[in-house]
Structure 1
Amino acid sequence: MRDANLFNFKRALPRMSWNPKNLYNLWRRSVGAKVSATDYTRTTKTLFQQRWAAKQLVRAYHGDYINEKSFKRWYLPANLPDVRPASSAKDDLLLLTKWANKTSAVEKEIKRREEEASKGLAPVGSLMFSEVERRIDVVIFRSCLAHSVYEARRMVVHGNVLLNGRKHQDANTRLAPGDMVTVDPKAISFLRPRTAKADPDEEVDRDVVPSKDVSPSIAEDGSSTGQIPFHIPDYAAPFIFIPAYLEVSFQTCSAVYLRHPTARPGYSEVPTPYDADGEVVRLAWEWYAKVRPRMRSKRQLSRMPENRQ
């Protein structure tokens, strides 16, 4: 959930935003001073503390505005393949088999492991957030039609978004393959002419109220050109990408949700600031695997956010 210290430099938690402060926090977590905080090879933290810190990092980026109880109940997949590295128990079993003079079985197992290592494993850990990526507000942000997921959420709530041609104001809706989302161009902040220079200390995410008395055909210099002005926010280049599961048309300010995100060896379609199958994601999944709700009554099912499958 949003708060006054959303881009706090001390915590340095990356968010779904093009804000320059967020870019600085992302740099600190990637290559800056905060990299050592997620290196658990030599640490005094307990396993519980490592999982808690990893959960805090991934939740700050993936749906920080979603209530934690709702996230655990509705936005976690039922199960995932094992995201932990291979345990030493298999190596011990291989060694015992070798001692039992079963050389052919040992050679077969070694060959199988070499083939598996050459192909690589899909980063399935990132698929923990595939349900969050289906949300209509996240789809609008991924389509580069809003400079933050918070602005995209306000667009939906304020009635500036159409779902399959009809006004839709539920930002919790999860899309189905083939759904088309259309955003009113007047609600997109960087498609409006600049009237005054913004305060550099002001959060960009809060400057999202459209100006109704300004014609979209007026260029930045005030001359009528017949073209819609386009003013991309500063420092937005690192965030301008479109995932493979979306088809975006900037001429019509619309996007089609093609399919659910997937992962293959060496590649994940779920954008995340962390290694898609790294230690942070693994520890976060281990945390949620232990604390997620086990029972879902009919009363709880009736409260489930709209899921279009």
Structure 2
Amino acid sequence: MTRKRFHGLKKVKVRASWNKYNLYNLTRLRAPPTHRNHYQEKWTAKSMSRAYHGEYIREKQWQRMFRSRIPAVVPMDHRYLAENDGSELAAGRGSGREKPLNSEPAKSAKNQIPFMHMTYAPLERRLDMAVWRALFASSARQARQFVTHGMVKVNGQKMPYAGYLLNPGDMFQVEVDRVLYATGAPKTPEQIRKGRKIHRAQRLANQKASEKRLARKRDVAAGRTNLASTGSQLGIDEIRKQRKLDLKALQNQAETILHDKRSRVGAKRKIQIRAFMREVKDTMKTVNRRSEKELDAELASLVSKLETIRNHAADAAAEKAEKEESESQKEELSPEEQKKLREALVLSRENPVDESKPYATPWRPRPFMSAFAFIPRYLEVNHNICAAVYLRHPVARPGFAEVPSPFPAEIQQLAYTWYLRRR
């Protein structure tokens, strides 16, 4: 049995997704025909609206979530509330009133409260829907996948339940790499092949490293058993002699770094190298008075210090070469070209090329994203850390509702009356 197309073009259904076919279906969305009976109109409106609002949620589950009471905010005139206590509403002709209380013209359609647009407001509390509304995923289904795979935290705790209902003040966070993957442009086939090669090489390197560790552990274990059975093969004098040779080799390496003309070691680095060489000489003088464990610890410390000095020297040489190269380029470039070059360098540092990432690098937004890039009022989002705060439950206000929906008020009203039955 073949699966139905999620983004079908024959029958227009708007989905909670940033897909390009969904955007095309949005342009084709039309009001349903009005020549059918009321039941058919309600069924069509329910089918159209449920395809967008939580289509992956079972119908029985949504019916339990549905509330006939619609949250709304009605602005009140504070002057009127201060001047009157409500008794004026009951004043009639017997009190001498001739003019009606509400003599002002009827309110315009702009200030009317769109109650019917709040039909699916209970769904906005769900964690997966909030993740999608905060632009952390390209569809509600992908947001649900992020939650169930443990990539979303609520108030610092991992929350694997997509149906978790957020409370006002709750903060939810999504892993940054997942957000970059969901909202970024996809890789080209060539980039995908390069990424697979990199991952394959990393797996082989990790496998070889683990094999080496296991072999080293086996050798150490075998050496211990041999020492336990036959005693120590090397005397303490031979070990000290070997440690002296190791220290001499460290001293020679430090001298090579110090006198290397290509690295051009600075004055501060020379002081550090000479201090290291003095420390090696002092250790060589006290080799015969130290135990084997002390010698091994001292040798390991000196090796790590030498590695640090060598890395610093290499970094300094690279920095100097880069600086000289940039200075030579600056002499050739105009001021405007230098400015563009600086901006390009800053951009390359902030958004580098990394073929191992699952999305295209340098990162750029996915196509057709701008049509869906909006955030509801009840969310406070920080995209730098991929976190958002659920401020309050969505409400309807004069002129607009806070639940985003592509459907007009007529379809929302018919869907509301469909779910209002037997209640």
Same fold (TM over 0.5): yes
The 5-angstrom pairing of residues 41-56 of structure 1 reads 43=35, 45-56=36-47
Aligned to 2:16: 16
TM-score by length of 2: 0.51
Aligned amino acid, residue 32 of structure 2: T
Kindly tell me the number of residue pairs found equivalent between the two proteins.
Answer: 241
Seen in structure 2, the aligned counterparts of structure 1 residues 119 and 14 have a Cα distance that, compared at 3 Å, is: closer
Q: What is the distance in 2 between the residues matched to 1:218 and 1:53?
A: 47
Aligned to 1:25: 25
What stretches of structure 1 of length at least 5 have no aligned partner? Answer: 30-34, 82-103, 199-211, 295-309
Aligned to 1:62: 53
CA displacement at 1:78 relative to structure 2: 3.9
Q: What is the distance in 2 between the residues matched to 1:39 and 1:108?
A: 41
Aligned to 1:268: 401
Deviations 1:193-214 (A, max 9, x none): 854349xxxxxxxxxxxxx959
The structure with the larger Rg is 2
Quick one: which of 284, 288, 294 aligns to 2:419? Answer: 288
Seen in structure 2, the aligned counterparts of structure 1 residues 194 and 65 have a Cα distance that, compared at 3 Å, is: closer
Asked if the contact 1:246–1:257 (Cα under 8 Å) also holds between the matched residues in 2, the reply is yes
CA displacement at 1:159 relative to structure 2: 0.4
Asked if the contact 2:185–2:366 (Cα under 8 Å) also holds between the matched residues in 1, the reply is no
Q: What is the distance in 2 between the residues matched to 1:118 and 1:195?
A: 48
Q: What is the distance in 1 between the residues matched to 2:44 and 2:143?
A: 27
Deviations 1:112-148 (A, max 9, x none): 6x34447732111121211101110011111111000
CA displacement at 1:186 relative to structure 2: 2.1
Q: What is the distance in 2 between the residues matched to 1:65 and 1:259?
A: 24
Q: What is the distance in 1 between the residues matched to 2:182 and 2:114?
A: 35
Aligned to 1:171: 162
Asked if the contact 1:183–1:253 (Cα under 8 Å) also holds between the matched residues in 2, the reply is yes
What stretches of structure 2 of length at least 5 have no aligned partner? Answer: 72-95, 191-197, 203-348
RMSD value, Cα: 3.3
The 5-angstrom pairing of residues 186-201 of structure 1 reads 186-188=177-179, 189-190=181-182, 195-197=187-189
Tell whether 2:119 aligns with 1:125: no
Quick one: which of 32, 37, 41 aligns to 1:38? Answer: 32
Aligned amino acid, residue 127 of structure 1: M
Asked if the contact 1:190–1:232 (Cα under 8 Å) also holds between the matched residues in 2, the reply is no
CA displacement at 1:39 relative to structure 2: 4.9
Aligned amino acid, residue 265 of structure 1: P
Aligned amino acid, residue 61 of structure 1: Y
TM-score by length of 1: 0.69
Deviations 1:184-242 (A, max 9, x none): 112221467854349xxxxxxxxxxxxx959998734759xxxx843311111110001
> Which has the larger share of helix?
2
Aligned amino acid, residue 79 of structure 1: R
SS at match of 2:173: strand
Q: What is the distance in 2 between the residues matched to 1:135 and 1:164?
A: 15
Tell whether 2:67 aligns with 1:77: yes
